[in-house]
Structure 1
């Protein structure tokens, strides 16, 4: 992709992750950023060399062909009303959690090309998991453009919007589940005699390596698990304890509960 003009309204962590990813990927694009915080704008300007920074959202929207709405859900309506009538022929990409495409179209108009995105926090270290979906007027090439941009900060899939609550429950909330698992592994290592630093490093690297094996090999996780479990060995004994503790059911229940909560929050907005 070359010659893109990309604007970010909001300069928070996710916008910063996207800027970092775009620059690291070599995508040829001109960037502009707006935010109410002068401090955040200064970070974007000095750390990433983006000179086109402003407190004026309209200036960024007029500049850009692709506009990322990287603001908190509670102020999205204010930003959308600022942009109304100014974004015809532009692609709008919303990262505002819980805000549906229908909601955005109700303010901007359903003729506007809108793509909704659900990223997660590991995008900050270019290892995110993101899902995208398109509105009534979004073109296939719009979805591909957004998918390519978010692939610069990790992996990205295209889904139907009705699946976004599931995405929120799985990959959106999932880092919290994984952090708790890493903490539990580290606690176990400390209990059995390792230092906290060594236990945490080994636990985190084990999770990272196992995830990389799933992605790089394409082998089903169950088969990879079987490859580790020798007959009468240590791993099968540990797995038996996890099964007795209901780990599999607990994880499924966690994703289900988070999905239902996402639906509930969406109905309240």
Structure 2
């Protein structure tokens, strides 16, 4: 992991000002704040948050994490890092209002579907843009964030972005052309996994387990399997082969999956999700073009 030097995130001009500015105070913004504060990457007083509505939400974040409610967008001017954590449909207006306060900061976007090209146009190329796709487990600091950097982001800004994002889980860099696929795979993945687990849990109850026992067996089986894959650095295929004895119980169940075409259905689901991600991005960019 990148060894962090506090000097890397000092405000431009070394002014005594907010060092991290978040525009938006929803679930993703809170997950990001939680990871940064709990792991001591920044002090709470270095984090300013602005929410255009629901002022009570800012008070809740201040009480829970000690962050500072921003008074206005002007606080972004002295930040080294600005985080766009608004809904994609709200991004055009938010960036149009934010643009006067940008002058070379690092801009990390959590807005799904909005390309680095579109973001740069929206802010008049006034910041170094990082497009991200975090997934649900970042809420418990065990997620993964897919990251694509705009062309001219410096090495130092890349390291800084990775350092901050790593406070909520793993970071995987990729070409921007793959981000719609990442949205389908890791972004929608928790929903797909839960759908499969839901089916397993229902079947467990049909086998005679009560709900509490079924849930315990299910969650520990899933968490343990993921840990084995991570710790032993195995592919799912290799581990599956290791636990499958010829004509055994696992083999009997896997034959049903194979005969029903499970892999085909999974592929079709991921393709549909990726296509929808690309479609949504086009809709937002058409509907909310940045102003000249």
Same fold (TM over 0.5): yes
What is the alpha-carbon distance in structure 2 between the residues aligned to residue 46 and residue 8 of structure 1?
A: 16
Structure 1 gap segments, 5+ residues each: none
* Cα drift, residue 148 of structure 1: 2.1
What is the alpha-carbon distance in structure 1 between the residues aligned to residue 42 and residue 139 of structure 2?
A: 20
**2:74 corresponding residue in structure 1:** 58
The aligned runs of 1:97-176 (5 Å cut-off) are 97-110=112-125, 112-176=127-191
**2:66 corresponding residue in structure 1:** 49
Q: TM-score, normalised by structure 2?
A: 0.87
**1:34 corresponding residue in structure 2:** 50
What is the alpha-carbon distance in structure 2 between the residues aligned to residue 246 and residue 140 of structure 1?
A: 45
CA RMSD of aligned residues (A): 1.5
* Cα drift, residue 55 of structure 1: 5.0
* Cα drift, residue 241 of structure 1: 1.2
Contact 1:132–1:143, Cα closer than 8 Å, also in 2: no
Residue 232 (structure 2) pairs with residue 213 (structure 1): no
* Cα drift, residue 218 of structure 1: 1.1
**1:240 corresponding residue in structure 2:** 255
- Greater relative contact order (Cα 8 A, min sep 6): structure 1 or 2? 2
Give the secondary structure class of the aligned counterpart of 1:88.
coil
What is the alpha-carbon distance in structure 2 between the residues aligned to residue 267 and residue 28 of structure 1?
A: 36
Structure 2 gap segments, 5+ residues each: 10-18, 285-292
What is the alpha-carbon distance in structure 1 between the residues aligned to residue 201 and residue 186 of structure 2?
A: 22
Contact 1:116–1:132, Cα closer than 8 Å, also in 2: yes
What is the alpha-carbon distance in structure 2 between the residues aligned to residue 55 and residue 139 of structure 1?
A: 30
What is the alpha-carbon distance in structure 2 between the residues aligned to residue 253 and residue 42 of structure 1?
A: 44
Contact 1:117–1:131, Cα closer than 8 Å, also in 2: yes
- 2:199 is aligned, of 184, 188, 201, to 184
Q: TM-score, normalised by structure 1?
A: 0.94
**2:16 corresponding residue in structure 1:** none
